[in-house]
Chains A and B, each alone.
Chain A
């Protein structure tokens, strides 16, 4: 069965801290790995990764994929209260599928 596991499930930090969120996966037909930020409603797209070892960066957020060890990390540096959200990791399946398999998410709370 295809699965995506995120850790930790929740995390409380103070503004200015750096956090690392983890995502491991086991799927039969990997195409891509995506990170989303979910605040109140819809998941907002952050990154898509398809190749190992290539870091994607957007401001204080960065992510990297390891296709050999089947995991990805999402780093957030100098956290702000506005980073408080649930961060979702999803694996996109290949072939005729294309749908995403989601993890349970990591709930990040950033305290002032």
Chain B
């Protein structure tokens, strides 16, 4: 069964460093999303991506964040200068027929 994959599973970085989180969506899906979940809180939408451009983004998705689909299979989330409050679980999701399927997540820890 096709699934969304994400790497790495856990990333530890120092404040101010850049991180890139990677996702491989389900191959025939066209809509891709990033969400985050701070420990103990609800899942929050960050950004949606369709046809090689951002279609919607939340207030959380400020200038420190960017997304890219560099090669037609990977979908990446970059955080340019990480802050302590960026520590969270980051989930990638891809959508087929309105159903969104989530990857296993990357736990980002900023120290």
Contact = CB atoms under 8 A, between A and B. Distances in A.
Contacts of A103: 42
Interface residues of A, number: 24
Contacts of A44: 102
Contact of A100 (B35, B41, B103): B35
Contact of B100 (A41, A92, A97, A105): A92
Contact of A45 (B35, B56, B100, B105): B100
A96 interface: yes
A41 B101 contact: no
Contacts of A34: 99-100
B44 A102 contact: yes
A41 B9 CA distance: 10
User: Dominant SS at the A interface?
Assistant: strand
A101 interface: yes
Given A32-B98, A98-B31, A88 B56 contact: no
Contacts of B100: 34, 45, 92, 100
Contact of A99 (B48, B101, B103): B48
A98 B56 CA distance: 8
B75 interface: no
**Of A101, A102, A104, A105, which is in contact with the most chain B CB atoms at under 10 Å from its CB?**
A102
A50 B98 CA distance: 10
Nearest to A94: B98
A104 to B, nearest CB: 5
Interface of A: 31-32, 34, 36, 41-45, 48, 50, 88, 90, 92, 96-105
Which 10 A-B pairs have CB atoms at the shortest separation, nearest pair first?
A99-B45, A102-B43, A42-B102, A42-B104, A97-B56, A43-B102, A104-B42, A102-B42, A32-B98, A48-B99
